[in-house]
Structure 1
């Protein structure tokens, strides 16, 4: 495979940041093997406001155990401002996303790409190639640059923005300004799939997009002024035949035991 030929062009996603005294989420374009941190983005299109939270989990940390359940209690001042402006029936959508922009070595191939929630488990259309995936990640980086400035990655900040303010994320829509060819953000209370857009580099051209669907799903619930964001992996139910076999086996064991006692 020819990897290094296009690695520089694909890997470089630059993001300009200004300002101090406010932490920022680690960006996709940062030169780190960890990738970005995951970001929660919630938009109330009716009330015209938005809430974001740096979840503090990098792509590398997530991939270390993609079946591990995650739970986040949302009760900071910014979320309370968002919740206070919410009225039942408002058009609210939300999603979790991040990315890994490095593609310098062959070992980068499995993790390079865009990670996002999806309304459908396996979208019919995905980004076609590395360039399109990088374009989507560039939109994500633009969103991040508008809500958090450079300081310490360890600080996990939230934002509450209203229409007209820099960082009001409704301008990115539910598909990152159409850069993503499927709907990433869903309704409150809905369980959203989590997918990874990556490339097939068998031909060395990075011209074929692939989709990895994780076993877990994200869910955001709102109760009063508190939110609950969870990532869980569903347990696979046992087929009915297994339960029938188990019951029959227990019955046989019971009969055998009665015969021993009678003897």
Structure 2
């Protein structure tokens, strides 16, 4: 039985707080029907260390309701190691990413592709075709392989790595070693858009971009971090009475103007 995203997010929070282990993150290369789980990546380029967190939410689970808010509290030992090495003013970048590797028939195009945060809400430059998207996803797969043990049934929820260690994610930069033609990771205090690089339904190849309604935010105070995904509130329609009042008011104004002109 699959957990709902809400229950799954609660489970992730509990695991993060306890430092417990969970099922491994799925690589895009696994080509599973539900896609990879999303990965949070945090890099301190000044202190030369990095932190990653398996968010435990797959592409399929996210797509079931891309407007649903998500919230994660980061307080495990690995995050505390990252926070302890941080000094105000350090060059820190962060982002969330994942992907879906199945592209066997037209029905796959809605899910296939790379999912990532973006500094620009709607990047003008994107991967132009399925081959380029696959190349970006391959960089993500390599990064995941260095922070998660792919052949294990369970492994740690998070990692803390320093320069020179296998799994130090700064080497992938903020654009997956230039494989991604826009900047995916942003600085602290920056709200990041969330986008999907996909292929269109006509030629099964040309790259397209889908922008989701929510934004990711990350902050931390002391040894606790907060990662959230929040969709913009929908526009609230004005009640019919307001429109009726407006129409009535315009009628009164027109009548008053005609009377003034007649005088």
TM bracket (short chain): 0.7 to 0.9
Q: What does residue 136 of structure 2 align with? A: 136
CA distance in 2, matches of 1:201, 1:87: 48
Distance 1:22 1:248, change over 3 A: closer
Where does 1:78-97 land on structure 2 (aligned, <5 Å)?
78-97=78-97
TM-aligned CA deviation for residue 106 of structure 1: 2.0
| Runs of 4+ displaced beyond 2 Å | 21-24, 236-239, 245-250
After superposition, what is the alpha-carbon deviation per residue over 1:116-156, rounded to whole angstroms, capped at 9, x for unaligned?
Answer: 00000000100010000000000000000011103236x66
Structure 1 contact 25–156 (Cα < 8 Å) conserved: no
Structure 1: runs of 5+ lacking an equivalent: 1-20, 253-263
- What SS is found at the alignment partner of 1:109? helix
User: Structure 2 length as normaliser, TM-score?
Assistant: 0.80
Q: What does residue 119 of structure 1 align with? A: 119
- What SS is found at the alignment partner of 1:137? helix
Structure 1 contact 53–156 (Cα < 8 Å) conserved: no
Q: What does residue 7 of structure 1 align with? A: none
1:152 is aligned to 2:153? yes
TM-aligned CA deviation for residue 31 of structure 1: 3.1
1:230 is aligned to 2:225? no
After superposition, what is the alpha-carbon deviation per residue over 1:143-179, rounded to whole angstroms, capped at 9, x for unaligned?
Answer: 00011103236x6610000001000000000000000
1:101 is aligned to 2:101? yes
Q: CA RMSD in A?
A: 2.3
Structure 2 contact 106–201 (Cα < 8 Å) conserved: no
Distance 1:247 1:131, change over 3 A: closer
Q: What does residue 13 of structure 1 align with? A: none
CA distance in 1, matches of 2:209, 2:31: 24
Q: What does residue 46 of structure 1 align with? A: 46
After superposition, what is the alpha-carbon deviation per residue over 1:39-90, rounded to whole angstroms, capped at 9, x for unaligned?
Answer: 0000000000000000000000000111110000000000000011111111
Q: Provide the aligned length of Structure 1 versus Structure 2.
A: 226
Distance 1:156 1:164, change over 3 A: closer
Structure 2 contact 146–166 (Cα < 8 Å) conserved: yes
User: Structure 1 length as normaliser, TM-score?
Assistant: 0.80
- What SS is found at the alignment partner of 1:104? coil
Structure 2: runs of 5+ lacking an equivalent: 1-20, 249-263
- What SS is found at the alignment partner of 1:116? strand
- What SS is found at the alignment partner of 2:30? coil
Q: What does residue 210 of structure 1 align with? A: 208
